[in-house]
Amino acid sequence: MGAGVSKKGGRRRKRHTAMSEINVTPFVDVMLVLLIVFMVAAPMMTAGVPVELPDSAAKTVTNNEEPLVVSVNSKGEVYLQETKVEGNDLGARLAAIIGEKKDTVIYIRGDKAVTYGDMMRVMGLINQAGFSKVSLVSQNPNL
């Protein structure tokens, strides 16, 4: 008897076996799309509060830690990261976020329209909370 023919003269049915290979093409496609989305979105997420920074020729500081940013916009409103902080709550909020690591560097982004007095008030609140490492963020005019 030939292959594929049973004793009764009919065709034998082939058993279907499960495919043991995984198709990774859709997975790779999704990962590439996500990579592109995050590459485009990441620079927009670093500065949440719109502030027009003053120009400075100071050298760029590099730091490997996640930055903790306090922003003061042109109206004098204070933001911790992207959350608006009212009154004198800045020191308490910083202490709640950082805890006992008082040597953490805090970056202050101040709009160039903000008065010197407003910036000193914010720096004073940070200092009263026990934080002494403060860096002022500016924009390099050559970039």
Q: Please indicate, yes or no, whether the overall pTM of this predicted structure exceeds 0.75.
A: no
3-state secondary structure labels for all residues of 20-47:
CCCCCHHHHHHHHHHHHHHHHHHHHHHC
Each residue's pLDDT, cut to its tens digit, for the chain (143 residues) gives 555 555 555 566 667 777 778 888 888 999 999 999 888 877 655 556 666 666 666 556 565 566 788 888 888 888 888 888 887 788 888 888 777 777 778 888 888 888 888 888 888 888 888 887 888 877 766 65
Domain residues of the chain, as ranges? 68-137
The shares of helix, strand and coil residues in the chain, as percent rounded to the nearest 5, are 30, 15, 50
Give residue-wise pLDDT tens across range 31-50: 999 999 888 877 655 556 66
The CATH classification number of 68-137 equals: 3.30.420.270
